[in-house]
Amino acid sequence: MLIIGVALFAQEEKKKKGPSPFENPQNLKILTTKGEALQMTMRNFNAALGQQCTYCHVQGNFPSDDNPKKTVARMMISMARDINGKFTDGQQHVTCFTCHRGAVTPLKEAPPAQ
């Protein structure tokens, strides 16, 4: 009984919030995933740059390209793919985090010695 109640509650919540924006992406030009895999990629972007979703997205409109950071991010995705393509083992070696390390602008030089 409790389980049915919880399931019904979850269904109601889903109706209120509408479908997940990850289930049926409208404007992907590079990525080919959807659902949980796409959501995971986006969470990794947040972590790599130390930012929230709205750093790249117009609030409430994920498909929109009106935020110029989204265009930069697309360029970065293809740059990271190019770099990984130079390795001969077919593995992913370089991610957003490799350069960004939780910051918007990667460091060009080592911090001064202590």
Letter for the amino acid at 40? Answer: M
Which single residue is written with the structure tokens 């930012």?
A: 51
Residue span binding ligand HEC (CB under 6 A) among the ranges 7-15, 39-47, 84-92 = 39-47
List of residues 6+ apart from 90 with CB closer than 8 A: none
Q: Nearest distance from residue 44's CB to ligand HEC, in Å?
A: 8
Q: Taking CB under 6 A as the rule, does residue 63 contact ligand HEC?
A: yes
Q: Taking CB under 6 A as the rule, does residue 80 contact ligand HEC?
A: yes
Q: Taking CB under 6 A as the rule, does residue 6 contact ligand HEC?
A: no
Which single residue is written with the structure tokens 């939780």?
A: 102
Report CA-CA distances (Å) from 4 to 10, 17, 97.
10, 20, 42
Q: Which is nearer to ligand HEC, 29 or 86 (CB)?
A: 29
Phi-psi region of 22 (alpha: psi -120 to 50; beta: other; left: phi over 0): alpha
Contact flags string 9-38 toward ligand HEC, x per CB under 6 A? ------------xx--xxxxxxx-------
Q: How far apart are CA 63 and CA 23, in angstroms?
A: 12
Site residues, ligand HEC (CB under 6 A): 21-22, 25-31, 42-43, 45-46, 49, 51, 53, 55-57, 62-63, 69-70, 72-74, 76-77, 80, 94, 96, 98-100, 104-106
